[in-house]
A and B are shown apart, each in its own frame.
Chain A
Amino acid sequence: MYKVVNLVKNFDNVKVLKKINLEIKENEKVVIIGPSGSGKSTLLRCLNLLETPTKGYIEYKGVKLTPKSYKDIQGKIGMVFQNFCLFDNLSVIDNLTLAPVLNKIMTKKEARKQALEYLKQIKLADKLDAYPSDLSGGQKQRIAIIRTLMMNPEVILFDEPTSALDPEMIDEVLNLIMEVAKRNITMIVVTHELNFAANFASRIIFMDQGAILEDGDKDEVLKHPKTERLQQFLSKIN
Chain B
Amino acid sequence: MKKLILLVSLISLIFLSACTKNQDELIMVTEAGFAPYEYYNNGEIVGVDIDIANEIAKELNKKLVVKDVSFDFVINEVKSGKADFAAAGISVTEERKKEVDFTIEYTTSNQVVVVRKDSPITSFAELGDKTLVTQLGTVSDLYVSENYPNANLVTHKKYLSAVEDVKAKKADALIMDQAPALEIVKENSELKILDGILFQDKYGMIVKKGNTELLNSINNVLERLNEEGKIEEYVIKHLKQEETTSSTNFIDNFVDSFKKTFIVEDRYLFFLEGLGYTLIISFFAIILGLFLGVLTSVIRDYNRETGHLKILSKLCDIYVYIIRGTPTLLQLMILYYIIFKSFNIAPIIIGILTFGINSGAYVSEIFRAGFEGIDKGQREASRTLGLNYYKTIRYVIFPQALAKIFPALGNEVITLVKETSIAGYVGIIELIKASDIISSRTYNYFFPLIVSALIYLFLTFLLSKIMKVIERKLNHV
A residues adjacent to B (C-beta < 8 A): 48, 50, 71, 73-79, 81, 83, 85-90, 98-99, 102-103, 131, 144, 147-148, 151
Contacts and interface: CB of A to CB of B under 8 A. Distances in A.
Interface string B366-404: 000000000101101111111110010001100110010
B98 interface: no
B473 interface: no
Nearest to B383: A50
Contacts of A89: 396, 399-400, 403
**Considering residues A78, A99, A131, which has the most beta carbons from chain B within 10 angstroms of its beta carbon?**
A99
A102 B378 contact: no
A74 B382 CA distance: 11
17 contacts: A75-B385, A75-B386, A75-B387, A78-B385, A81-B380, A83-B377, A85-B375, A85-B377, A87-B381, A87-B396, A88-B378, A89-B400, A89-B403, A98-B395, A99-B385, A99-B387, A102-B391
A155 to B, nearest CB: 10
A103 B392 CA distance: 12
B384 A102 contact: no
B381 A151 contact: no
Contact of B384 (A78, A90, A103): A78
B370 to A, nearest CB: 12
Identify the 6 closest CB pairs spanning chains A and B, nearest first: A75-B386, A99-B385, A85-B381, A74-B386, A85-B377, A79-B384
A90 to B, nearest CB: 8
A75 B278 CA distance: 50
A77 B388 CA distance: 14
Given A89-B400, A131-B476, A102 B395 contact: yes
Nearest to A91: B476
Nearest to B398: A89
Given A75-B384, A87-B382, 20 more contacts: A48-B384, A74-B386, A75-B385, A75-B386, A79-B380, A79-B381, A79-B384, A81-B380, A83-B377, A85-B377, A85-B378, A87-B381, A87-B400, A88-B400, A89-B403, A99-B387, A103-B386, A144-B381, A148-B384, A151-B386
Contact of B385 (A50, A131, A151): A151
Nearest to B396: A87
| Dominant secondary structure of chain B at its interface with chain A | helix
B21 to A, nearest CB: 50
| Dominant secondary structure of chain A at its interface with chain B | loop
Given A83-B377, A85-B378, A131-B476, A148 B399 contact: no
A170 to B, nearest CB: 20
**Considering residues A87, A88, A151, which has the most beta carbons from chain B within 10 angstroms of its beta carbon?**
A87
Interface string B50-74: 0000000000000000000000000
B384 A50 contact: yes
A88 B173 CA distance: 66
A103 B384 CA distance: 12
Contacts of B386: 73-76, 99, 103, 151
Contacts of B382: 87, 99
A81 B385 contact: no
A191 B396 CA distance: 28
Nearest to A87: B396
A76 B384 CA distance: 8
Nearest to A83: B377
A71 B306 CA distance: 14
A78 B380 CA distance: 11
Contacts of B375: 83, 85
A206 B197 CA distance: 101
Contact of B378 (A73, A87, A99): A87
A75 B383 CA distance: 8
Contacts of B384: 48, 50, 75, 77-79, 148
A101 to B, nearest CB: 10
A85 B387 CA distance: 14
A76 B400 CA distance: 26
Contacts of A85: 375, 377-378, 380-381
Given A89-B399, A89-B403, A131-B476, A102 B381 contact: no
